[in-house]
Amino acid sequence: MVESNPNFAAEASTLVSNGPFKITEWVHDQSVKVEKNEGYWDKDSVKYAGIDWVMVNDENTQYQMYKTGQLDMIQTVPNDMKKQLIDSGEAKVEPEASIYYYRMNVKMEPFQNANIRKAFALAIDRQALIDNVAQGKQLPALAHIPVGFPEPDGRDFREVGGDFIKDNDVEQAKALLKKGMEEEGYTTLPPVTLTYNTSDAHKQIAQVLQEMYKKNLGVDVKLENKEWKVFLADQRARQLQISRSTIPADYGDPLNYLELFVTDHPGNRINYSNKEYDALVEKIRNTADEKERFQLMHDAEKMFMDDMPLVPIYFGTKVFMDQPNVKGIIRHPVGTLDFKWAEISKK
């Protein structure tokens, strides 16, 4: 199929899949329809005929469609209603293996200096930002690798690895900034521009960070927003000084996060390079013993956090709403939704 049609995945009529459902219609930017796959090995476990997805970019519109019964479930809720809906129990929250952070370009001043980078990572109050802005019961990110990755003994990788920094550690941040500026011979910090892709939610977080850096470090940070395609192109070209990212897990292993910052990896985007780190990640890839491999991954995360090329903000959550007659949708911390066992009873 790939050889006969390199664009096979672009249309419903040629898309190949082998799951519990098969795609029957795809109206680009509008809707997708799938129906039960009678050729699926476990088709008897699939309880309903299919799924109709609609693509609605506006969260308020989605919510209104849900409230009027046009949608059986939604995967996001309006930000200004999030806390209220969660507190009332209408919206549910589950952990997600993802991290929201700002990445610092280590070849752009002043972020070539590790102590200045650490100062920017320590000088923010994550819990206040979560409680007042993000409002999705996210967890403050005090490390790089999020929750959701079980160790060989069943414990979570994050539980075993613990925290590398303290939240809102302002005094330490001030001391590190002073030290870093002395190391670089700065009497004043070079201008800092914090870039995010256009979105009300990202804008609110950026504004809070701007306020915290001013209050806690005395640093005036300029904010810049760019449309997604321009933002992504500039970030991939390593042209942004400090820029926003959300990284969800592509697969269920901490290596997913560690390998992104190997020298010249396409996901690096900030010119980070540490030969010892590269060698350690390569060793992880070639270690078969799981217990040893996980210990090496903890070692790699520590090495990375010692260099601190990121400002980790929070570990993500999924905030969603299912109608009362919907059950059986499985939301994995890693990956997307699993509809195989879903059921919809009559109202």
Greater model confidence, 262 or 336: 262
**Given this model, what pLDDT does residue 198 score?**
87
Q: State the chain's mean pLDDT as an integer.
A: 94
Looking at residue 254, the DSSP 8-state letter turns out to be T
Residue linked to tokens 């989605």: 62
**Given this model, what pLDDT does residue 51 score?**
93
Q: How far apart are CA 156 and CA 174, in angstroms?
A: 33
Residue 346 has pLDDT above 80, yes or no: no
**Given this model, what pLDDT does residue 345 score?**
84
Residue 217 has pLDDT above 70, yes or no: yes
Q: How far apart are CA 258 and CA 270, in angstroms?
A: 14
Helix or strand holding residue 102 (H, E): strand 92-104
Query: Does CATH number 3.90.1150.10 belong to domain 8-92+319-344?
Result: no
- Domain ranges for the chain: 8-92+319-344, 95-317
Lowest mean pLDDT among 14-18, 20-24, 33-37, 304-308: 14-18
Burial 225-264 (b: 16+ CB within 10 A, else e): bbeeeebeebbeebebbbbbbebbbeeebbbbbbbbbbee
**Given this model, what pLDDT does residue 347 score?**
64
**Given this model, what pLDDT does residue 241 score?**
98
Over the stretch 270-316, which tens digit does the pLDDT of each residue have? 999 999 999 999 999 999 999 999 999 999 999 999 999 999 999 99
Over the stretch 223-242, which tens digit does the pLDDT of each residue have? 999 999 999 999 999 999 99
**Given this model, what pLDDT does residue 201 score?**
86
**Given this model, what pLDDT does residue 37 score?**
95
**Given this model, what pLDDT does residue 52 score?**
94
Share of the chain above pLDDT 70, in %: 100
Over the stretch 89-146, which tens digit does the pLDDT of each residue have? 999 999 899 999 999 999 999 999 999 999 999 999 999 999 999 988 999 999 999 9
pTM: 0.84
Average pLDDT for 257-269: 96
Average pLDDT for 324-340: 88
pLDDT band at 80 (very low <50, low <70, confident <90, very high): confident
**Given this model, what pLDDT does residue 334 score?**
85
Cβ 44 vs Cβ 62: under 8 Å: no
Cβ 31 vs Cβ 37: under 8 Å: no
The CATH homologous superfamily to which domain 95-317 belongs is Dipeptide-binding Protein; Domain 3 (3.10.105.10)
**Given this model, what pLDDT does residue 27 score?**
95
Q: How many CB atoms lie within 10 A of CB 96?
A: 23
Residue 336 has pLDDT above 80, yes or no: no
Closest CA to 207 of 228, 191, 222, 227: 222
